[in-house]
Amino acid sequence: MQHSTYKRQWPEGFLWGSATAAAQVEGAGHEGGKEDSIWDHFARIPGAIANGDTLEQAVDHYHRMPQDVRLMKELGLDSYRFSTSWARVRPGDRTANREGLDFYSRLVDELLEAGILPWLTLYHWDLPQALEEKGGWANRDTAYRFVEYADDVYSALGDRVRHWTTFNEPFCSSLLGYGAGVHAPGRQEPAAAIAAVHHQHLAHGLTVNALRSRGAEQLGITLNLSNSIPRDSQDPVDLDAARRFDSLQNRIFLDPILRGSYPEDSLRDLAPFGLQEVIRPGDLEIISAPLDFLGVNHYHDDLISGHADAAGSDGHSGGAERPTASPWIGSEDIAFPSRGLPRTAMGWEVNPEGLRTLLVRLGEEYPSLPPLYITENGAAYEDTVDAGGAVHDEDRTRFILDHVAAVGQAIDQGADVRGYFVWSLLDNFEWSWGYGKRFGIVRVDYGSFERTAKDSGKAYAGLIAAAKRNIPRPAVSLPA
């Protein structure tokens, strides 16, 4: 039976896309002038990445880009969300690297020729290692270096790219990278992590203002957001744990950007880690520069408890062998009990209803909320490859279709959602898991780099085609 989502009418102009990130797919780790990013450096630390995997070849998108764009066109994508690598554009953060910028210029041209809208993300975690050695995001100066990098990218691509995302998931590149040590640069320094949160916010605001002044049309940021659900809504311990999780996962990112202030409880909770000390006069006015869209990445939501006996994982331990710390700074005691729901290969509970709840909540709680795009949603599962090479991934197919249905339900309830990007176009380097987890709707053979559309990719293509067939057409008045 065909999924009910195929019959749905979507708002006019609704975008259907897919997404990748430079570090995860490009490869050519030290070609074309590119030098180390923090992830290249991190991958050389023993035990940091599962199986000792590196980004050096990734899935060879750098050399196979035209083929990959043809794949996108065959799938019927309206838009492709990609990131530029700071370490490729400004190796060592010295000066613009023309060869690196030329690669992205060719990508943009290929996309436009295929009728696919380029959706560019400036930061998907590949800080030049040279800047990390000067303090990285714990150093306020990095925010100003980011504006210079963004300016170089805009100078090369701003005549053809309309949609500009400053940061992807600052939660991960600050709290997981500088607090937990699960992600690059692998530091476990709570105060540095909190400084990184604020300095990335500052870099975002500075860049929005800078690119706006140069004529950028659509500017936004992408946050990974979750629902914070107390295990017992009558238990003060669980309620407070859920409040603290919501602060660290959601509100310390949403509120400065959309309200121009940090939540009072966040300032209080994070006072021991120096949040107030890194905020300077005028910062929050810069950070809250008006946006044209907000990207929402969502993979799961979370049941939260403050009781030590509540078993469960937050899903952020990664695949590393080296010891890591908690990303929940000052709230290391919060627990993540299971609801008994199905889980993906990442160990994340599957709850499509959570996406609907989240999207409706955002509209209710943030009066200045710009239009929303689901900029990442997807799942890792083990694929089944049959004797003929076909890739059967029923769980992933169901995950995508059920979550798209949840987006439709949110729209019915008033959420202003204007597009959906499935994660990911290709199987790729999944951070500390290396190549051990597959999110792609297109399978990549890691030996030959051959691409094969999975059943989920074919189902997604069918959904896009159905959505375009179902666009309401104006009534035609026939002559009497």
Long-range CB contacts for residues 397-400, cutoff 8 Å, separation at least 24: 397/455, 397/456, 397/459, 399/344, 399/350, 399/352, 400/441, 400/456, 400/459, 400/460
CA–centroid distance for 98 within its chain: 27
394 catalytic? Reply is no
CA 320/CA 434 separation, integer angstroms:
9
Q: Of these residues, 26, 132, 349, 376, which one is catalytic?
A: 376
For 372, residues 6+ apart whose C-beta sits below 8 A from its C-beta are: 293, 294, 295, 296, 359, 362, 415, 416, 417, 418
Q: Strands 384-385, 302-304: parallel, antiparallel or unpaired by DSSP? A: unpaired
CA 478/CA 364 separation, integer angstroms:
44
Compute the C-alpha angle 264/266/270, nearest 5°.
125
The answer to whether 58 and 21 have CB atoms below 8 angstroms apart is no
The answer to whether 415 and 359 have CB atoms below 8 angstroms apart is yes
Lookup: tokens for 15: 């975008």
CA 238/CA 234 separation, integer angstroms:
8
CA 328/CA 179 separation, integer angstroms:
8
Q: Helices marked H in 161-259 — which ranges? A: 170-171, 190-213, 236-246, 252-259
376 catalytic? Reply is yes
Output DSSP code: residue 422: E
DSSP-assigned beta bridge partners for residue 372: 294, 417
Burial of 212 (0-12, 13-18, 19+ CB in 10 A): middle
CA dihedral 139, 144, 148, 151 (to 10 degrees): 130
CA 170/CA 166 separation, integer angstroms:
10
Neighbours of 46 (CB within 10 A): 8
Q: Of these residues, 169, 217, 321, 450, which one is catalytic?
A: 169
Output DSSP code: residue 174: I
Lookup: tokens for 356: 């609907």
Compute the C-alpha angle 317/318/322, nearest 5°.
85
CA 323/CA 181 separation, integer angstroms:
8
- Residues recognised as catalytic: 169, 376
